[in-house]
Chains A and B, each alone.
Chain A
Amino acid sequence: MNDASVPWVRRALASNSGVLIAALVFAVLLGTVAGINTGPLTYFDISFMSSGGATSALAAIGQTIVILSGGFDLSAGAVISLVNVFLAQSMDPANMEASVLLWSLAGIGIGMLCGAFNGIFIAFLRLQPIVVTLSTMFIIQGVTLLLMDKPGGFVSPSIGAFYMGDAIPGWIPMPLVVVGGVLLAWAWLKRTRLGTAIYAVGSDPDAAAAVGVRVPFVRFLVYVIAGGCYGLAGVFISAQTGSGDPLVGNPLLLSMFAAVVVGGTRLGGGRGGPLGSAIGAYILIIVVNILLVLNVSAYYSTIAEGMILILAVLAGSLSRSSTLARQLRIIGTRLSARRAGTLVKQRAEGDTRLRLAASADQPAAGERPGFFKRNADVLRYTLPAYLCFVLVVAVTQLWLGGALLNTGYWNSLVVLSSFLAILALGQGTVILTGGLDLSVPWTIGLCGILLAGMVKGSDAALIYALPAVLLLACVIGLVNGLGIVFLGLSPIVMTLATNGLLQGVALLYSNGTPDGFSSPMLRWFMTGKIGPVAPVVLFMVLFVIAAVTLLGRTPFGRRVYGIGNGLRAAELSGIPVGRTLILVYVLSAVCSALVGILLTGFSGQASLGMGDDYLLPSIAVVVVGGALITGGRGHYLGMLGGVLLLTALQTFLAGTTLPYATRAILFGLVVLGAVIALRDRKS
């Protein structure tokens, strides 16, 4: 593409294809709304739509900059809530003419401070972005609730009038100017050395450092800039709503990632840009209008959204270099190779390995290094979770008593840990390959509801219900895997879409009220006793052994680590990458289904949304247990340590009468403390 003979138009088209496709998709959706709606789009409609998507757009711009630098920011939604609540709480209700500039700067400033907090830990202490921002998310949510424990407060109408008003009356609404202004600022920044450095750090931090980029400083600035964007989004939502709500920003998080991906930015960094994300945010908000004008029934809305998400991203990747096209070409090549009889499988068997020097097959001279030396790395990143766990148990004993020598305590701890421990295998394996499974919540929900619906209290029905549910899980995993491998969709997009799809299916199946309940045997399994412990405790012992063996001692496990350390390298070393990845997502879905089954036994019935509380913890335990979110490093026993730590911490907090806000802050601090101990010491 750098060939000078290629006209600049085509070059520009190729390098901005993500943005162009997103803009095209948006135009089509807007046209649909305008076409079906009662009248032509008026200036008022445009103005309103521009304010509707502005908060998400501003936040998505910030998130994009973080992602471009190879990071990840889960605290974005919490920062928006914090700024909103701060503004609504501190403005004087008598002052109708509060200064727009002053309060905007205050909001942006708070955002930047939060960003700086993230940045210090991520850039200078070299902690993993996902777990730092997860901790800050909890801490900021706690602080927000301390500031304001229920919706209320006051935001001066002058702020609303400014941000909701017109830049040029009748022509350009203010929200577009604000979003446009931020985009222009980015366009300027991109041309500076810092802008180049951000892309460079995202593409390859080592190479960037080698050419003299101060990587930690760039990373730090990225989080500060992103924080400023969230802050502005918080100011904007305050203007839009005229009041404060401590929960207003939290649900924006997932749609923010969707906006980034729809806008053509690649998760993992190095490619894409904020313009696409801003358009992506508007695409997602206009979907609301689409669902309305098409009168899509409530139960189908999440399904429709999932499909739109997939189609929008697919449309953005349709080209000769797309994964789908490549997969089709590979299939074609394989077929012709088969006809020609040159496929590897068709060639004569026999050992065709190169004969290396004889010493390679023999153990090296000298003593085999000791256990601690051999496993030094694994120990270093798995031990901190266990140390923190011991600490939490000790505190529980001192503060509440009745922990250390109480079998009931240990039994409850293991039973409560079992859900996350099982999810940690699935989510952990996905993360080891460098992916992420966001379809966990509704895989749990749908499987639980289906099981309860089929079992209806009969033990005999378990004989067919269990295999049926697990089979369904295999299908869910297969769909995820195929989408990721053959359509080349990013794991986040694919699993997010699947999650919406499953939610729709669960609602349709249950008609909104799931019936059926677990059978006596399943209930006994979770809440009964064999000797001093529940049967599930014994099951967990077997599960942990199986999980450690699967990841540590089987070819499958080795392939997983191989893929995580480098997809291309794994491919070239002959690892069947596609097949392994599909199996990984099947494993994750089966683990989720197992949790759905156990939760149904634990609660006695299944309910909609029963899996919602397990998504973020399933990621957190994996990372707290020492795994790298970018893949390749991690041990199941470490993740198990993470599970025990978080469950013990929650058990301790539940036994106290601390208010929720304080708990959230404590929870965040402990997670942060655990990962500081995990710090990567190499530069």
Chain B
Amino acid sequence: MNLATRLKRFALGTALAAGLLSGVTAADAAEKYKIFLSMSYIGNDWQAEAANMIKAMAAHKSFADKVDLQVQVAGPNAQRQIQQINAMVQAGADAIVIYPISPTALNQVIKNACDKGVKIFAYDGDISEPCAHNISIDQEEAGRVTAEWLAKKLNGKGNIVVLTGVPGTSVDQLRTKAAKDVFAKYPDIKIVAEGVGMWSQAVTRTELSKITATQSWDQIDGLWLQVGCYTANAMQLEAGKKPEELKPCAGEGSNGGRIQMLPIGTEVEGAASPYAPLGAPRISYASPPYSGALALKLAVQALEGKEVPMRVTLPLPIVTSETIKLCNEGTWDEMKAGCNAFLPSLVSNPGWFASIFSEETPEIGLNAALVGQPEP
């Protein structure tokens, strides 16, 4: 399709849609790029946070007059995402930002979209179709680095509990396998229980309750959880452990977990146990929720004709007890200076993901992740 017809169809389409729904004049709309976001399930913290950051990016002053962003949800069903992406192509999308439900199931529809000149950007999960841009962390690195930290912390010896993510997903398989490869190198490290954590604090709670029903905390020396160190620490306190006795835990970048890493006695506004400084021995990593916003930014650059790499491997955000630092406001500038945990008075949900800083996205800070408000 040549540019002229595309522009024409695009102008016509937005004019119709605008006339029906928003009242923006056709002239305004015609200059904007039409970008769609195809999300998966929105029923969890990570997804909602990522969506907020994407919306904030689109609303930032450097993009507001360039981007017309429409957000759609496909749910957990790959069939629907296929249908949705195609409907977006038909609706005249210039670019589609996708949280892929499956790395493989979307390949055909994405190839079809690429053939029509639509730019495809996938965040967090990868799409194996070569014409799609992928923005995510190296999952194997995440598994390896955290497992190595735990092994070192235990001096290569001890009983550990492992909780995986959602079984059958690439992300979970890559992380868990990399971690187990590390543990296999230490003959004295023994995995005494392995559960399915589903990347959820609530599931972690029930799984760990089941595990500790038959094995007491005294028999466990360390934990490797994809999500749930915050909950694990809370449960140890409930079981009568003192903060100094908390087991080393390799896990997610939830703000609750980060606050627990602060030295005991740190003055933190809004803290209440277990969402409080405990000096917990931790390594905290995350699949950062800013990846979607970065994907949107790159999509606009690609539409403007700039060269954009097909694969962007995000730096793995790692925070340990040595590098933990509290933010006061959570602006991008403050995070650039090195802070990585947020006041409970600002972030009341301890399961909220705190890895929101990227060198590449000065447009978005704490408010973007919380309420979809860009940096001024």
Contact = CB atoms under 8 A, between A and B. Distances in A.
Q: Do A and B bind each other?
A: yes
Interface of A: 36-39, 45, 48-49, 52-53, 55-56, 144-145, 149-153, 160, 164, 237, 240-248, 251-252, 255, 285, 288-289, 291-295, 297-299, 301-302, 396, 400-403, 406, 408-409, 412-413, 415-416, 445, 456-457, 503, 507, 511-517, 527-528, 599, 602-605, 607-610, 612-613, 650-652, 654-661
B168 A607 contact: no
A288 B38 CA distance: 11
A610 B371 CA distance: 22
Contact of A412 (B90, B213, B231): B213
B210 A604 contact: no
A150 B106 contact: no
A507 to B, nearest CB: 6
B257 interface: no
Given A52-B82, A511-B371, A609 B200 contact: yes
A651 B213 contact: yes
Interface in B246-276: 272, 274-275
A164 B108 CA distance: 10
B117 interface: no
B214 A285 contact: no
B77 to A, nearest CB: 4
A151 B104 contact: yes
A56 B75 CA distance: 15
Interface of B: 9, 12-13, 16-17, 20-21, 39, 41-45, 47-49, 51-52, 70-80, 82-84, 86-88, 90-92, 102-108, 128, 164, 166-170, 172-174, 191-196, 198, 200-203, 205-207, 209-216, 231, 234-235, 238, 272, 274-275, 348-352, 370-371
A609 B43 contact: yes
A659 B168 CA distance: 12
Contacts of B172: 150
B370 A245 contact: no
Given A252-B77, A513-B45, A243 B210 contact: no
Contacts of A39: 9
A656 B191 CA distance: 9
A288 B71 contact: no
Nearest to B17: A295
Given A503-B43, A599-B202, A607-B44, A400 B371 contact: no
Contact of A292 (B51, B88, B102, B352): B88
Contacts of B70: 292, 295
A570 to B, nearest CB: 38
Contacts of A409: 213-214
Given A415-B209, A511-B371, A657-B194, A149 B43 contact: no
A160 B107 CA distance: 12
B79 A55 contact: yes
B191 A145 contact: no
A514 to B, nearest CB: 6
Contact of A607 (B45, B76, B191): B45
Contact of A610 (B71, B82, B191, B202): B202
A50 to B, nearest CB: 11
| CB-CB nearest 9 A-B residue pairs | A512-B48, A412-B213, A243-B104, A654-B210, A38-B13, A609-B43, A150-B173, A515-B348, A241-B105
Contact of B83 (A289, A302, A415, A515): A289
A605 B167 CA distance: 25
Contacts of B275: 517, 604
Nearest to A154: B104
A37 B87 CA distance: 10
B91 A416 contact: no
Given A602-B205, A657-B192, A660-B167, A512 B213 contact: no
A605 B350 contact: yes
Among A36, A150, A650, max chain B CB count under 10 A is at A150
5 contacts: A243-B128, A245-B102, A298-B71, A516-B349, A656-B194
Contacts of A651: 210, 213-214
A654 B234 contact: no
B231 A402 contact: no
A282 B172 CA distance: 33
Given A38-B9, A655-B211, A247 B48 contact: no
A293 B90 CA distance: 10
A252 B74 CA distance: 12
Contacts of A240: 82, 105, 108
A509 B351 CA distance: 18
Contact of A603 (B108, B192, B231): B231
Contacts of A603: 201-202, 205, 231
Contact of B169 (A38, A247, A516, A605): A247
A302 B72 CA distance: 11
B43 A150 contact: no
A408 B350 CA distance: 27
B272 A145 contact: no
A652 B191 CA distance: 16
A409 B74 CA distance: 41
Given A240-B108, A610-B202, 13 more contacts: A48-B86, A151-B102, A153-B104, A301-B73, A402-B214, A512-B52, A516-B349, A605-B351, A607-B201, A608-B45, A659-B194, A660-B167, A660-B196
B45 A657 contact: no
A655 B75 contact: no
Contacts of B107: 241-243
Contact of A516 (B102, B164, B207, B348): B348
A612 B43 contact: yes
Contacts of A152: 104, 170
A242 B71 contact: no
Contacts of B207: 654
A247 B91 contact: no
Contacts of A599: 202
A683 to B, nearest CB: 41
Contacts of B350: 517, 604-605
A445 B272 CA distance: 23
A414 B83 CA distance: 45
A655 B168 contact: no
A152 B352 CA distance: 31
B245 to A, nearest CB: 18
Contacts of A602: 205-206
A150 B214 contact: no
A151 B125 CA distance: 12
A241 B102 contact: yes
Nearest to B352: A513
A406 B219 CA distance: 15
A241 B78 contact: yes
Among B51, B73, B79, max chain A CB count under 10 A is at B79
Contact of A241 (B77, B83, B108, B216): B108
B293 to A, nearest CB: 15
A661 B167 contact: yes
A410 to B, nearest CB: 9
Contacts of B9: 38-39
B168 A298 contact: no
A298 B214 contact: no
B229 to A, nearest CB: 14
A112 B364 CA distance: 53
Contacts of B198: 613
Contact of A527 (B51, B214, B238): B238
A262 B112 CA distance: 31
Given A298-B51, A513-B352, A657-B194, A607 B200 contact: yes
Nearest to A51: B82
Nearest to A243: B104
B42 A298 contact: yes
A301 B77 CA distance: 14
Among B73, B203, B272, max chain A CB count under 10 A is at B73
Contacts of A516: 348-349
B74 to A, nearest CB: 7
A164 B45 CA distance: 37
Among A241, A599, A604, max chain B CB count under 10 A is at A604
Contact of B84 (A144, A288, A299, A607): A288
